[in-house]
Amino acid sequence: MPRKALIAANWKMYKTPAEAKAFVDAFLPLVAGHDRDEIALFPSPVLLPTVINAAKGSNVAVGAQNIHFAEEGAYTGETSVGQLLAVGGTHTLIGHSERRQYFAETDEIVNKKLHTALKHQVIPIVCIGEVLAEREAGQTAEVLKTQITGALAGITAEAAAPIVIAYEPVWAIGTGKTATPEMAAEAHSIIRGEVAKLLGADVAAAIRILYGGSVKPDNATALLSKEEIDGALVGGASLKPDSFSAIVKY
Ligand code: PGA
């Protein structure tokens, strides 16, 4: 079975509800009938009901940028997986490098969040990737192995099917510096190899690995035509309907 690509929009801390609604209204006609790839939008929590309602019945899924690992509790400022499901969200990002960098998320926290998402049938996109100093020191493979091993701790092959991984080299995020398709494909092979060791060859062959980091309409085709690259996680270029739809339709 070929892996169906997933093209995901990470809106980060951008857009008001009115802007989010205007995006969806303009975007849906641009991707109507597109079923070669799955499409998902990841807005801020406050935008979720607006975006989910606007996208209802379409080919566009909606998820959170982050969830807490606890099911509920005294965690001021956090969003639970139950809250996400209650408003109709189906996916969540986990361990984005900005969460790791600015909110002290560790591989251990990422792992707890992954367990919670899977338990509640929310589709998780687990983000991993090296920083520039690690790449320059030749540590990329080691860093990716450590992150993927940490993220997947205690996950069984039976439970792993919904997991999506996003390889996002931190030095490529929001910088305009994209990994070359060859660099990305090499990292994806390392990740897939590690998943094979941890969860077996079948899971590794089926798991989708997205690339993220300065994906734009003009580099999407080169990246996404690599067999190893099963979709994209797009930040800046996902904020406008025309540029995000151009990536979807690479
Ligand atoms: P970028 O962000 O496309 O703006 O580099 C990607 C991401 O952070 O997921």
Is the residue at 84 inside a domain? yes
Q: Which residues are CB-contacts of 104 (< 8 A; sequence separation ≥ 6)?
A: none
Q: 162-175 in b/e burial notation, b at 16+ Cβ within 10 A?
A: ebbbbbbbbbbbee
- Given this model, what pLDDT does residue 152 score? 98
Torsion angle defined by CA atoms of residues 54, 92, 60 and 85, in that order, rounded to the nearest 10 degrees: -50
- Given this model, what pLDDT does residue 2 score? 84
Is the residue at 1 inside a domain? no
In contact, 194 and 149? CB cutoff 8 Å: yes
Kindly report the CATH number assigned to the domain that includes residue 98.
Answer: 3.20.20.70
Q: Which of 38, 130, 168, 228 is catalytic?
A: 168
Mutation to probe ligand 1, out of 6, 7, 10 (largest number of atoms < 8 A from CB): 10
- Given this model, what pLDDT does residue 176 score? 86
**Nearest of 113, 103, 186, 121 to residue 152 by alpha carbon:** 113
> Using CA of residue 8, residue 97, residue 195, residue 79, what is the dihedral sign?
negative
- Given this model, what pLDDT does residue 1 score? 64
Q: Which atom in ligand 1 lies closest to the alpha carbon of residue 234?
A: 3
Q: Which of 68, 91, 96, 188 is catalytic?
A: 96
What beta strand segments (E) does 88-185 contain? 91-94, 123-128, 164-167
DSSP character for 126? E
Residues of the domain holding 135: 6-248
Is the residue at 127 inside a domain? yes
Is the residue at 196 inside a domain? yes
Is the residue at 199 inside a domain? yes
Is the residue at 167 inside a domain? yes
Using a 6 Å CB cutoff, which residues line ligand 1? 10, 168, 173-174, 212-215, 233-237
> Which residue has the least CA distance to atom 3 on ligand 1?
235
Structurally, the chain folds into a number of domains equal to 1
Q: Which residues of the chain have pLDDT under 50?
A: none
**Nearest of 56, 65, 2, 67 to residue 24 by alpha carbon:** 56
The model's pLDDT over 45-59, given as tens digits with 9 standing for 90+, comes to: 999 999 999 999 999
In contact, 195 and 204? CB cutoff 8 Å: yes
DSSP state letters, 97-120: HHHHHHS---HHHHHHHHHHHHHT
Catalytic residue status for 136: no
- Given this model, what pLDDT does residue 27 score? 98
Strand partners, 167: 128, 211
Catalytic residue status for 96: yes
> Using CA of residue 192, residue 85, residue 103, residue 17, what is the dihedral sign?
positive
Is the residue at 191 inside a domain? yes
What beta strand segments (E) does 144-230 contain? 164-167, 208-212
| Cβ-based burial of 243 (10 A; exposed 0-12, middle 13-18, buried ≥19) | middle
Query: Which residue in the block uniquely carries the two structure tokens 């090499």?
Result: 186
Is the residue at 150 inside a domain? yes
Mutation to probe ligand 1, out of 128, 233, 240 (largest number of atoms < 8 A from CB): 233
Mutation to probe ligand 1, out of 101, 168, 175, 177 (largest number of atoms < 8 A from CB): 168
CA of 245 to the centre of ligand 1 (A): 16
> What pTM did the predictor assign?
0.97
